Structure 1
Amino acid sequence: MKRIIFAVLGAISLSACAQAPQGAAAKAEPAAKADAVAAAPTGKAPEVKAGSAEARAVEAIRQLNPNITIDKVGAAPMPGFREALAQGQVVYISDDGRYLFLPGSGGALFDTQAKKNLSEDSLAAMRKDLLKTIPASERIVFAPANPKHTVTIFTDVECGYCRKLHSEIAEYNRQGIAVEYLAFPRMGIGSEDYKKMVSVWCAADRRKALTDAKAEHSVPSKDCKNTVTQQYNVGQRAGLTGTPMILTAEGVQVGGYVPPAQLRQTLDKIAADSKPAAAGAKPSAAVAAPVGGL
């Protein structure tokens, strides 16, 4: 995921301080009449005509994060949108300034007025249902006595960030976070990586076997009836692009590797933001910027 995604997600999910662009929606301007605006000096927005679609595009990005460098704004190849170059990434903004689309791998559609990641809302609901298909007995759990939060983490024994996360598992527990591991052998079904994870899931003490495997200690080779393949398939369907992948109980992705204290902060924020749901409001999906991953 790219720098602007980090910045946008941070603005929406963690600070929740963005305000909607002002002004009524305007009609789309023909692409042929909307020449690209010249590049702006570093750290400044391009010069745009007040009230234009370009001005609304700049404002939409600035509302999400005022520190993003916007180099150019102009016509998009699709009607009804402006195209902006911001911090090395192409961004598309609807001409009324409300919707912002980040294309490419991990792309997402944001409602800048509602301050919501619309793509994540849909994905979260799907992930929550997918996770229900994996029995609790098939998860490797590390939990404190009275957890404040529970996360599901798709993990791999060969992944460096997965090993780093697990080396801090005691601190995650001290932060009140219960971790439920699911298997995602990133080398694929039938690989040596896969066989190691099957051995872990077939071990008499799965917690010890997983800890040993991640510490590069020998784990006895075993085979048995297991759900590693099922877990791997669920991870793929859940949109996993790298390990580790951390999901809340509601299916919201909160990053790759995230340090314990930062993860607790993020989970507290999501829980606080979801409280209005009891009064009938739908909570917005929040996503923390991955610190590390595959």
Structure 2
Amino acid sequence: MQNITHEVELIMRQRRFVAHPLLTPFSMLACLLTVSLLPAAAQADNVADQLAGSLSVNGQSMPVEAVTETPMKGVYHVRLESGESFYSNADGSHFLVGDLYENGDQGLVNLTEQEQNRARADALAAVPDGELVIFRGADEPKATITVFTDPTCPYCARLHDTIPELNERGIAVHYMAFPRAGMSSQAATTLQQVWCSDNRSEAMTQAKEGQTISSAANCDNPVAGQYDLGKALGVKGTPAIILPNGQLVPGFVPPERLSAMLGLDDQ
């Protein structure tokens, strides 16, 4: 009863509730029962919302993107706008950095990785097709991979050479820009030229082959935004392949292995 009373007092303070002289013991009991019957999920959501708005370090607010409840009681997963994440208790007084695993019937399951995959998939789903450089075969693709790329990256060129085979296997490739040396690099300028071209796919191929692209780099383009998004999603080098489920696969992957990872060998 003490805990419930404390919750009621907290709610009353938050809503600036002023007790009325006619408030009877019966009405107070009804209030207590109402709080005690709140669904656990609603209470957890409320804690997550409060935590998102109150997290700070040394008096500085943290740029929180999302706070979600974990299966571990009283522990919340916090994702920052930078893409970094950690765990916190309900009042933000203790943090834990690392991966959270579930030890169940399926063995050890990395819950942190699952959450990161979901966040990547959601972020990429919000990117319009018009901001991508797309390579797909004549038939409807069976699967789509997103590739963060840099025209000065040798393994990116090697991956690009496999696109015909990937398309033949039913895998569409969605390119996003990631100039490894930053936005002041020649790679960034080349990528902006690609995105400013009338034929982006042709310009991308030219860039991979080291050819000169004739278009200017002064159009309104998403290269800087995609570079920032890639960093937020955990991309550290190129090529960086993101599967439909949000899993990040760094480096070059041969078509046959990608096909197996996407579950297409059984189709």
Scaled to the shorter chain, the TM-score interval is 0.5 to 0.7
TM-aligned CA distance change 1:138 to 1:165, over 3 Å: same
1:111·1:118 contact (CA, 8 Å) conserved in 2? yes
Q: Show the counterpart of 1:154.
A: 148
Partner residue of 2:178 out of 176, 184, 194? 184
TM-score w.r.t. length of structure 1: 0.53
Number of residue pairs matched? Answer: 167
Per the alignment, residue 129 of structure 1 pairs with 122
Does the 8 Å CA contact 1:196/1:221 hold for their aligned counterparts?
no
Structure 1, unaligned stretches of length 5 or more?
1-102, 273-294
1:12-31 alignment, distance < 5 Å: none
Distance of aligned partners of 1:132 and 1:109 in 2 relative to their CA distance in 1, 3 Å threshold:
same
- Residue 170 of structure 1 corresponds to 164
% identical aligned pairs? 40
The answer to whether the 8 Å contact 1:131/1:234 transfers is no
Deviation (angstroms), 1:114: 3.4
Query: 1:150–1:180: 8 Å Cα contact kept in structure 2?
Result: yes
Deviation at 1:210, TM superposition (A): 0.3
Distance (Å, rounded) in 2 between the aligned partners of 1:264 and 1:164: 17
Match of 2:80 in 1: none
* 8 Å CA contact 2:99, 2:111 repeated in 1: yes
The DSSP-based 3-state class of the residue aligned with 1:254 is strand
Q: Which has the higher contact order (CA 8 A, sep 6+)?
A: 1
**Residues 238 and 250, structure 2, Cα contact 8 Å, conserved in 1:** no
Question: Aligned pair 1:198/2:192, yes or no?
Answer: yes
Aligned partners of 1:252, 1:234: CA distance in 2, in Å? 15
- Structure 1 residue 108: Cα displacement: 5.3
2:113 to 109, 120, 126: 120
Question: Which stretches of structure 1, 4 residues or more, deviate above 6 A after TM superposition?
Answer: 269-272
TM-score normalised per structure 2: 0.58
Determine if contact 2:259/2:265 at 8 Å carries over to the other structure.
no
How far is 1:129 from its partner?
A: 2.2
- Listed one character per residue, the Cα deviations across residues 33-60 of structure 1 (whole Å, up to 9, x for unaligned) are xxxxxxxxxxxxxxxxxxxxxxxxxxxx
> Is contact 1:139–1:181 with CA below 8 Å preserved after alignment?
yes
Structure 2 Cα separation of the partners of residues 110 and 259 of structure 1: 30
Partner of residue 258 from structure 2, selected from 248, 259, 263 = 263
Distance 1:189 1:262, change over 3 A: same
**Aligned counterpart for 1:245 among listed residues 233, 240, 245:** 240
- CA pair 121-161 structure 1, distance change in 2 beyond 3 A: same
Aligned with 2:221 (options 226, 235, 256): 226
Give the aligned CA root-mean-square deviation in angstroms: 2.3
Bigger share in helix? 2
Instruction: Select the structure of larger CA radius of gyration.
Output: 2
Cα distance in 2, alignment partners of residues 139 and 219 from structure 1: 18
